[in-house]
């Protein structure tokens, strides 16, 4: 039974990350393997959580989300039940795109995406009111990205 990824798996992952609408037949032709082999490998990659899910990258600007920013939070209990309560409260707030634990001056970074500065401020107020939040800083992303979302970098560290 297969236990690790190989060059073929990495090639399949790169192709899927570039364009997840490619069919198994198209990917098979590009990696010079049979469609059945590619199908089996994609299933294995998904079953073993190399592929978490397949999603579309949306144009937030065209969808009306013209205000985006990050909130760097420091809170007094960043593990155990305090973290679980924080995450639960954060899940209930519409406009929160993602959240990551970080190290440094803050414990958490939250990405907010919404329609306008007023709703952005409202979301910030809701997050700041979560029990345990003791300090926050904001960063607005008002301009076009210098480097758009690229996904996983297979060549990092080489």
What residues does each domain of the chain span?
7-47, 67-141
In the predicted structure, residue 23 carries a pLDDT above the cut 80: yes
Length of the chain: 158
Mean pLDDT of 68-84: 84
Burial of residue 44 (number of CB atoms within 10 Å: 0-12, 13-18, 19+): middle
Tell me which fold the domain 67-141 belongs to.
Alpha-Beta Plaits (3.30.70)
Distance (Å, rounded) from C-alpha 150 to C-alpha 68?
18
Tens-digit pLDDT profile for residues 54-66: 888 877 778 777 7
Helix axes 35-47 and 7-18, enclosed angle (nearest 10): 90
Closest by CA to 25, choosing from 44, 7, 39, is: 39
Report the range out of 63-72, 83-92, 120-129 with the highest average pLDDT: 120-129
Q: pLDDT digit string (tens) for 102-157?
A: 988 898 999 998 888 899 999 999 999 999 899 999 887 765 666 777 777 777 76
CATH number of 7-47: 1.10.10.10
User: Is the pLDDT score of 97 beyond 70?
Assistant: yes
What pLDDT is recorded for position 127? 96
Q: Report the predicted TM-score, pTM, of the whole model to 2 decimal places.
A: 0.68
Number of helices and strands (H, E) in the chain? 5, 4
Neighbours of 95 (CB within 10 A): 20
User: Given pLDDT bands bounded at 50, 70 and 90, which one contains residue 78?
Assistant: low
Summary mean pLDDT of the chain: 88
Please report the pLDDT score of residue 7 as a whole number: 94
């Amino acid at each position: 039974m297969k236990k690790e990824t190989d060059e073929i798996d990495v090639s399949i992952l790169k192709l899927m990350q570039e364009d997840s609408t490619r069919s198994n037949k198209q990917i098979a032709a590009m990696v010079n393997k049979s469609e059945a082999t590619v199908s089996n490998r994609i299933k294995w990659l998904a079953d073993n959580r190399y592929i978490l899910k397949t999603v579309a990258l949306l144009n937030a600007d065209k969808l009306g989300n013209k205000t985006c920013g990050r909130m760097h939070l420091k809170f007094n209990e960043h593990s155990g039940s305090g973290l679980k309560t924080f995450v639960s409260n954060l899940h209930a707030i519409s406009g929160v795109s993602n959240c990551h634990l970080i190290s440094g001056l803050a414990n958490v970074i939250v990405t907010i995406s919404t329609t306008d500065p007023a709703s952005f401020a409202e979301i910030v107020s809701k997050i700041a009111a979560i029990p345990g939040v003791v300090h926050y800083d904001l960063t607005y992303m008002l301009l076009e990205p210098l480097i758009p979302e690229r996904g996983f970098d297979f060549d990092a560290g080489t």
